[in-house]
Structure 1
Amino acid sequence: MTTDYAVLSDLPCSKEQIENCIYSKWYPAFKRFTPKSRIIKPLPNEFIRYLEQDGIKLPPPEHEASVYTRVTIDHDGNTRENWEKQGKQESDEMRPIEHFLQVHQQIKDIIQELGPVTPKLNWSSPRDATWILPNNTTKCSEVNEVYLLLNASNYIMHDLELGHELNCEFELVLRQWFALNPALEFRIFVKDGKVVGVSQRDLNYYHYLHPLADQFKNLFDRFVKEVMIPRFPDKSFVIDVYLPRPFEKVYLIDINPFTRKTDPLLFSWNELINFEAEGYDLRLISENNIGRFASKEHSENQVPRDVVDASLDPNAIRELAEKWTKLLEQQQAESDSE
């Protein structure tokens, strides 16, 4: 019995191509087509150490208005005095007001200017951490919600590792929040200046998309040819776009390198690399995706069920936080007695 194996096509990606996808590198050229953004850079080392440390340290509750973030840090009745005392005892830990007050204030000022924002680092948005906020989105109305998302995200940790590897400056991007219809988000794959495939991003079935496929392809072709190719330095890239009603303007959400680390969604990378035909596919889910509904997006980054349940209820998160505190106190007592 013989088995045929597909040869894995080579797909090199240079350091320069990855750096070209850093938000601040491309945003100035595409401001007209991208949500309004503010970029804080370079981030101080203390901020990076804060994201890399274990646990989540938030400012005292009187500094912020969010009920959710307040119960997360005020479950044991801490006063500001106790918080400061604890901060002195744990001098190795990074805390926003003590160690990067300027960045902390910049985030607050930007939220005051733009309204709710969605954060990201150089490349990634913490979409895998939406479980930690009660709205189950990346919408942040105050600074502590930004900290919660960044600290809980594996995607952000990947950005930190990649940034260290490339030895580049880190940046915090705060984009003005607006509610996206997930049915109208698409990923466009461009190789050597030509579109080789377009995939629906949300892998659920939307019956009204199929009759619009040709119209969408015309808009995507024009956007790549007239907007992306003249402004972006690489000829091979992957872009995430949003096409809201009345389907007249394409909005650029993100640019990714043309590499296997970028999710091909409804394609395989071998298909995209070896595509040579004249017309490309705009791939849409053709029927109700029962398997998709049975699983949650970013399931590879799932957290314990009690944490997910608690994130939907402020009272439950208070109880969970109390349990965590008692457990930590017990562990500390056992450590002190040894």
Structure 2
Amino acid sequence: MAELGDSSISASAAPYTSLPFPPVTKQHILNCSYHSWHPRYRKITPKARLIPLTAPFLSYLRADGIVLPDDDASPPRDWSDDDSGIFSSTENPDAAEESEDEDPSAEWRDVHAQIKNTIEELGGKVVPKLNWSAPKDATWINANSMECRTPSDVYLLLKSSDFVTHDLEHAFDDTEEASTADGADKAQADPEIPYHLVLRKHFLLNPSLEFRCFVRRRNIVAISQRDLNHFDFLFSLSDTFRSRITSFFNENLRDTFPDESFVFDVYIPPPHDKVWLVDINPWAQRTDPLLFSWLELLTMDGPDSDKWVQKQKAQEAKEAANVVSIPIAPESTASSASTQALDHDDNASEASTVTPSDSEDDDVDEEIWTPEIRLVKKDDPEAYSFATPQYSAHKLPRDVVDASRGGEGAMREFAEKWKEVLAKAERDDQEASSDSDGDD
């Protein structure tokens, strides 16, 4: 794979047969984990709490099937408000005794208690995520919402998400070390990941004001709108957003994040004078480039590219050449020089303001580099993407999609039917097992 040079990037390179990413290391992935960077940037992030996860809880997340612990201690749920926890709100009476004996949280009661207490501490509504990913692909099972009010809501989203599974099973895929080792060596080489559950205080977020920022060699090279719908008002504010983001980056992230290349997400709520850090992602192909392509981001002009490095050197040389040395007059001629200055006061005043004309022209022509901010235009193919299912790589059954579009009543009806299907499948398995024992 082609690699970026240490000192510069050329946009006029020969056609690539693969994306010219620098090597992605496991340490870079760990540096982008929420638990790693959040303590450093806590004051500029939305309110959140991190809960260290134990081995039994991680085993529960990795296990097949969705079995939710009893939430008797939780506040009563208002079905008219939402459909969260649809699989855990009512229990099958026939399985009540069995469920008591098979409490899935028996081995991680401390984690369960921390989650419950944290939800209460953060106002009763939270949004969950793991080290790198939020379960946005699983909102179909939670009334199309990331909002969680009980621990079971959190478990339901985590266990239904392919994004979370990727965090658990494939965090170091495509890293430099993983690409050169077989399975056994890889297991030994992978550093232990301190998994954390992130619970962020729920607040009404305007998706049109989220932006993804691409940092290459400690310089922002591009800014992209995150929500792929057209919002006309963004265009008149684009310079404001670019200025706010650039200042925020220079003051908070540029010299403090361990890696020189990374991607970060921000939220700029009205009146657009405060920037919040939402997430940090790896400078790697696994991160969605949104309105850009990774080839663009890797090869576009920037403060670290050949063009701008050469321009900066030329500017520095020009400034050095324009320095004027003013000799100090000898003491013997000081009186004469003073008399001449008095005789030609007007001329002296005029001469003192004279500067080389070519220097003025060069200053006017001096170009200041700014990152491109890319927004969805009204006629862009990406506009109005709500017509296409988000996360289309994670296909859902047609019944689920139809139910999610039908509102809360349809989701509740679907949940009941789904439970019946699961109960029937379980009975069939038990009958098959009994028949097999009888034949033996």
- TM-score by shorter chain over 0.5: yes
| Structure-2 change in CA distance of 1:7 and 1:70 (3 Å) | closer
List gaps (5 residues or longer) in structure 1.
88-93
User: Is the CA contact (8 Å cut-off) linking 1:310 and 1:320 kept in structure 2?
Assistant: no
Amino acid at match of 2:100: E
Amino acid at match of 2:119: I
Greater mean alpha carbon deviation, residues 159-168 or residues 236-245 = 159-168
Greater mean alpha carbon deviation, residues 307-316 or residues 231-240 = 307-316
Amino acid at match of 1:334: A
* Shift of residue 182, structure 1, vs aligned partner: 0.8
- Candidates 82, 96, 107, aligned match of 1:99: 107
- Candidates 31, 38, 48, aligned match of 1:37: 48
Greater mean alpha carbon deviation, residues 31-40 or residues 286-295 = 286-295
Q: What number of residue pairs does the alignment pair up?
A: 325
The secondary structure found in structure 2 opposite 1:29 is coil
- Candidates 99, 110, 116, aligned match of 1:108: 116
Q: Which structure's residues are more often helix, by fraction?
A: 1
Aligned to 2:11: none
Paired-residue identity, %: 40
The higher radius of gyration belongs to 2
Amino acid at match of 1:328: E
> Please, what TM-score do these two structures have when normalized by structure 1?
0.90
What is the distance in 2 between the residues matched to 1:78 and 1:187? Answer: 50
Alignment of 1:90-239 (within 5 A): 95-96=104-105, 98-115=106-123, 116-134=125-143, 136-163=144-171, 165-239=190-264
| Structure-2 change in CA distance of 1:114 and 1:82 (3 Å) | same
Amino acid at match of 1:72: F
| Structure-2 change in CA distance of 1:290 and 1:40 (3 Å) | closer
The secondary structure found in structure 1 opposite 2:40 is helix
- Candidates 2, 25, 32, aligned match of 1:21: 32
* Shift of residue 169, structure 1, vs aligned partner: 1.6
Aligned to 1:276: 301
| Structure-2 change in CA distance of 1:217 and 1:309 (3 Å) | same
| Structure-2 change in CA distance of 1:80 and 1:144 (3 Å) | same
List gaps (5 residues or longer) in structure 2.
1-13, 172-186, 303-368
Aligned to 1:334: 432
Alignment of 1:46-65 (within 5 A): 46-60=56-70, 62-64=72-74, 65=76
User: Is the CA contact (8 Å cut-off) linking 1:237 and 1:258 kept in structure 2?
Assistant: yes
> Please, what TM-score do these two structures have when normalized by structure 2?
0.70
Aligned to 1:90: none
User: Is the CA contact (8 Å cut-off) linking 1:76 and 1:322 kept in structure 2?
Assistant: no
| Structure-2 change in CA distance of 1:258 and 1:143 (3 Å) | same
- Candidates 4, 7, 12, aligned match of 2:23: 12
What's the CA shift string for 1:285-326, capped at 9, x where partnerless? 111546723211112113212234445422331122112211
What's the CA shift string for 1:253-299, capped at 9, x where partnerless? 00011111111111111111112243322111111546723211112
* Shift of residue 63, structure 1, vs aligned partner: 4.1
What's the CA shift string for 1:80-112, capped at 9, x where partnerless? 423124x2xxxxxx812x121000000000011
What is the distance in 1 between the residues matched to 2:249 and 2:71? Answer: 47
What is the distance in 1 between the residues matched to 2:298 and 2:29? Answer: 18
Greater mean alpha carbon deviation, residues 102-111 or residues 32-41 = 32-41
Aligned to 2:97: 81
